[in-house]
């Protein structure tokens, strides 16, 4: 039964170098979420609602710091965020998308 609970409120860390995880279900502010790494699980308290498939910070991330998913930079932070924050285009940017 415990594994079922873990899966219901979990987020997947795809690569060991990532600083974000992907929500495996809709997650709500204030809930505890299990971060599933390849070799361990950790808990994080969610600071915001996070929709299924969206990203959350697994560490504090500073303004202009790279956002890493799949072991690759997918953007940079517009603002500093804390562990458990929702990461999306409202608080991150992609330099590739800004070039004309």
Please compute the mean of the pLDDT values over residues 1-9 and round it to a whole number.
54
For the chain, domain boundaries: 2-98
Sheet-wide strand order for 86-87: 41-45, 32-36, 10-12, 20-23, 55-57, 86-87
Q: pLDDT at position 71, please?
A: 96
Q: Under CATH, to which class is 2-98 assigned?
A: mainly beta
Whether pLDDT at 100 is above 70: no
Q: pLDDT at position 51, please?
A: 97
What's the pTM value of the predicted model, to 2 decimals?
A: 0.87
Q: pLDDT at position 95, please?
A: 78
Q: pLDDT at position 97, please?
A: 59
Residue 27, H or E segment = none
Place 2 in a pLDDT band, splitting at 50, 70 and 90.
very low
Over residues 30-67, the pLDDT tens digits come to: 999 999 999 999 999 999 999 999 999 999 999 999 99
């Amino acid at each position: 039964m415990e594994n079922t609970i873990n899966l219901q409120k979990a987020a997947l860390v795809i690569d060991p170098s990532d600083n974000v995880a992907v929500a495996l279900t809709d997650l709500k502010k204030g809930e505890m979420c299990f971060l599933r790494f390849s070799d361990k699980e950790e808990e994080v308290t969610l600071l915001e609602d996070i929709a299924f498939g969206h990203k959350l910070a697994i560490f504090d991330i500073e303004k202009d710091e790279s956002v890493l998913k799949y072991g690759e930079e997918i953007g940079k932070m517009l603002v500093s965020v804390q562990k458990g924050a929702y990461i999306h285009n409202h608080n991150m940017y992609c330099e590739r998308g800004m070039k004309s």
